[in-house]
């Protein structure tokens, strides 16, 4: 990781910022953006937050002042060159900004990337990344803490807490350690109320989401000699029938992982342009390598693939076979 002092210099020495994150943003993505904005506001900088996707409704509470805009070519394409700095948060491959990719890539602005995923593309020399961090919000917290660039307050604490809470699976995933709990304690001391954040994010379901979950569970099948691979398939017809959308499927795959025999879970999702696969694994099985064989990526235990040029049904059997072979790896790769 480049040093925090370099990031501090970039922030202090520039005045206008364009902040963005990955398609289909989660709470770490939105929380990191809002925390970054709060920091810039305290420093008197100007900023735009432009995302390819709309903010999911259950994360709108983080964007109280409605600063996040959905990307529009007409409105925003000129901005990529007119700002001083483009800050890419919670992703490390420009493909994940979809149609914004070429404008970010070709921009003359200083680019910074703050992220905690594996296998960065290195589209800029200014990478502030580390896979040991439980969330991008964790890196932003440490940056502010170490440099003292601004004072922490509730407005900074809330989005950082949301980022860390969700990316640690509510403080239970691998990278949840004493440091993460100490950060949470600091944020709670600044006024964050854990039950409120949890309720805002996780207890906002429409009935359609639960009905969609019913259909998704109905599709669940186990593969491998002892049921090591769980597969869930959600089709366009399931979405339309239940008036549900892609973000409603967040968390479905974790239910597959609760099955004792399962080592890898695959969730296949038909989306508007092609399809998406979510991959999860237990232990040391590197599903990010499995994903990268098909053009995707992610972390050792959580990865994804988005495919636009192939039929989902063509690829399902291949991916299942690959997943079965990966269940035998457990740490060898
Ligand atoms: P999810 O299944 O929750 O959408 O994604 C899990 C993780 O996989 C994300 O945190 C991200 O790191 C990674 N990921 C998801 N989709 C893609 C993708 O299309 N390309 C790459 N490189 N990584 C992805
Ligand atoms: Mn993240």
The residue contributing the CA closest to ligand 1 atom 15 is: 304
Q: Which two tokens stand for residue 293?
A: 């064989």
- Domain extent at residue 121: 3-202
Residues 309 and 232 occupy one common structural domain: yes
Counting ligands in written order, the one closest to the CA of 21 is 2
| pLDDT class of 333 with cuts at 50, 70, 90 | very low
CA of 17 to the centre of ligand 1 (A): 25
Q: CA 144 to CA 101: how far, in whole Å?
A: 28
280: its two tokens? 């999860």
For ligand 1, the distance from its centroid to the CA atom of residue 148, given in whole angstroms, is: 32
262 vs 25: CA distance, rounded Å: 27
Q: Domain check: are 190 and 229 in the same one?
A: no
Q: Specify the residue for token string 């399962």.
A: 262
Judgement on whether residues 117 and 189 belong to the same structural domain of the protein: yes
Same domain, 109 and 181: yes
| pLDDT for res 174 | 87
Which of 174, 303, 315, 319 maximizes ligand 1 atoms within 8 Å of its Cβ, making it the mutation to test the pocket? 303
Ligand 1 pocket mutation, candidates 302, 308, 310, criterion most atoms within 8 A of CB = 302
- Find the range with the poorest average confidence among 62-66, 115-119, 256-260: 115-119
pLDDT, residue 208, reads 95
Whole-number Å distance between alpha carbons of 41 and 63: 14
Nearest-CA residue for atom 23 of ligand 1:
297
All residues at 6 or more sequence positions from 288 whose CB lies less than 8 Å from its CB, including other chains: 118, 119, 297, 298, 299, 300, 303
203, with CB counted inside 10 A (0-12, 13-18, 19+), is exposed
Given 160, 175, 202, the domain boundary residue is 202
Instruction: Identify the pLDDT of residue 324.
Output: 98
- Asked whether residue 160 falls in the same domain as residue 25, the answer is yes
Claim to verify: residue 193 and residue 88 sit in the same structural domain: yes
**So what's the pLDDT on residue 2?**
64
Give the whole-angstrom CA distance, residue 204 versus residue 215.
19
Note whether 99 and 74 are within 8 A (CB): no
Q: Are β-strands 297-298 and 302-307 bridged in parallel, bridged antiparallel, or unpaired?
A: antiparallel
Chain mean pLDDT for the chain: 96
pLDDT tens by residue, 181-202: 999 999 999 999 999 999 999 9
Q: What is the full DSSP assignment across 219-232?
A: H-EEETTTT-EEEE
* Same-domain check for residues 218 and 320: yes
Flag whether pLDDT at 111 surpasses 90.
Answer: yes
Does residue 36 surpass a pLDDT of 80? yes
User: Residues, the chain, total?
Assistant: 333
> What is the 217 CA–ligand 1 centroid distance (Å)?
22
Identify the CATH number of the domain in which residue 172 sits: 3.90.1640.10
Q: Which ligand 1 atom is the nearest neighbour of the CA of 117?
A: 12
Predicted local confidence at residue 331, as pLDDT: 52
Q: Residue 300 maps to which CATH number?
A: 3.10.310.30
124 SS3 class: coil
Of 180, 202, 224, the residue at which a domain comes to its end is 202
* Domain assignment of residue 277, yes or no: yes
Whole-prediction pTM: 0.85
Span from the CA of 78 to the centroid of ligand 2 (angstroms)? 28
Interval between CA 25 and ligand 2 midpoint (Å) = 9
333 within a domain of the structure (yes/no): no
Mean pLDDT of 292-321: 94
- Residue 211: phi and psi, rounded to 5, are -70, -40
86 lies in the same domain as 198: yes
Mean of the pLDDT values across residues 93-114?
A: 97
Per-residue pLDDT tens digits for 225-242:
999 999 999 999 999 999
Q: How many domains does the chain have?
A: 2
Domain-ending residue, one of 182, 202, 222 = 202
Give residue ranges with CB within 6 A of ligand 1.
93, 96, 117, 278, 296-299, 302-306
Q: Please answer whether residues 57 and 141 qualify as being in contact, where contact means their C-beta atoms are separated by less than 8 angstroms.
A: no
First to last CA, the chain: 24
- How many whole angstroms separate alpha carbon 230 and alpha carbon 279? 10
- For residue 279, give the ligand 1 atom closest to its CA: 2
- Per DSSP, the residues of 125-194 read S-EEE-TTSS-HHHHHHHHHHHH--S---HHHHHHHHHHHHHHTTTTTSTT--HHHHHHHHHHHHTT--H
For residues 211 and 321, state if they share a domain.
yes
Residue 330's pLDDT is 75
The residue behind tokens 């040029």 is: 309
The pLDDT value recorded for residue 269 is 97
Q: Are 30 and 55 in contact (CB under 8 A)?
A: yes
Minimum CA distance residue for ligand 1 atom 6: 303
Assess whether 256 and 191 both reside in one domain: no
Query: Residue 46's closest CA among 81, 13, 8, 14?
Result: 14
Mutate to test the pocket of ligand 1, among 121, 216, 298 (most ligand atoms within 8 A of CB): 298
Classify burial at 14, counting beta carbons within 10 Å of its beta carbon; exposed 0-12, middle 13-18, buried 19 or more: middle
- The protein residue with its alpha carbon nearest to ligand 1, atom 24, reads 304
* Within-domain flag for 332: no
Backbone torsion region of residue 171, taken as left when φ is above 0, otherwise alpha when ψ lies between -120 and 50, otherwise beta = left
- Whether 331 maps to a domain, the answer reads no
Does 318 reside within a domain? yes
- Gap from CA of 22 to ligand 1 centroid (Å): 9
> Are residues 184 and 46 both part of a single domain?
yes
Q: Phi first, then psi: what are they for 127, rounded to 5°?
A: -100, 125
Nearest CA to ligand 1 atom 13: 298
Ligand 1 centroid from CA 92, angstroms: 11
pLDDT of residue 206: 87
Q: How far is the CA of 184 from the centre of ligand 1 (A)?
A: 25
Domain co-membership, 143 together with 276: no
CA dist., res. 26 & res. 24, Å (int): 7
- In order of 21, 35, 91, 99, the CA distances from 77 in angstroms are 16, 24, 20, 10
Ligand index nearest the alpha carbon of residue 138: 2
């Amino acid at each position: 990781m480049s040093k925090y002092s370099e990031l501090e210099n970039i922030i202090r020495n520039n005045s206008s910022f364009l902040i963005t994150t990955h398609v289909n943003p989660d709470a770490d993505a939105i929380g990191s953006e809002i925390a970054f904005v709060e920091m810039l506001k305290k420093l008197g900088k100007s900023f735009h937050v432009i995302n390819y996707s709309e903010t999911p409704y259950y994360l709108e509470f983080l964007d109280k002042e409605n600063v996040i805009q959905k990307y529009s070519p007409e409105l925003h394409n000129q901005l990529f060159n007119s700002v001083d700095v483009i800050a890419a948060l919670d992703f490390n491959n420009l493909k994940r900004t979809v149609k914004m990719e070429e404008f970010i890539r070709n921009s003359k602005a200083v680019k910074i990337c703050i992220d905690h995923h594996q296998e960065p593309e290195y589209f800029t020399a200014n990478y502030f990344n580390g896979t040991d961090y439980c969330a991008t919000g964790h890196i932003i917290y440490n940056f502010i803490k170490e440099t003292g660039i601004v004072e922490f307050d509730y407005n900074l604490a809330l989005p950082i807490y949301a980022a860390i809470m969700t990316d640690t699976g509510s403080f239970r995933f691998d990278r949840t350690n004493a440091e993460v709990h100490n950060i949470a304690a600091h944020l709670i001391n600044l006024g964050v109320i854990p039950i409120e954040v949890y309720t805002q994010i996780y207890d906002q379901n429409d009935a359609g989401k639960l009905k969609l979950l019913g259909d998704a569970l109905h599709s669940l099948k186990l593969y491998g000699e002892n049921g090591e691979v769980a597969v869930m398939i959600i089709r366009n017809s399931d979405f339309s029938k239940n008036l549900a959308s892609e973000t409603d499927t967040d968390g479905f795959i974790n239910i597959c992982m609760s099955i004792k025999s399962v080592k890898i879970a695959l969730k296949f999702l038909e989306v508007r342009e092609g399809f998406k696969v979510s991959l999860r694994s237990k232990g040391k099985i590197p599903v990010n390598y499995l994903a990268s064989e098909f053009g995707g990526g992610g972390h050792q235990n959580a990865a994804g693939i988005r495919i636009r040029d192939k039929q989902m049904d063509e690829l399902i059997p291949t991916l299942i076979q690959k997943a079965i072979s990966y269940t035998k790896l457990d740490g060898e790769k």
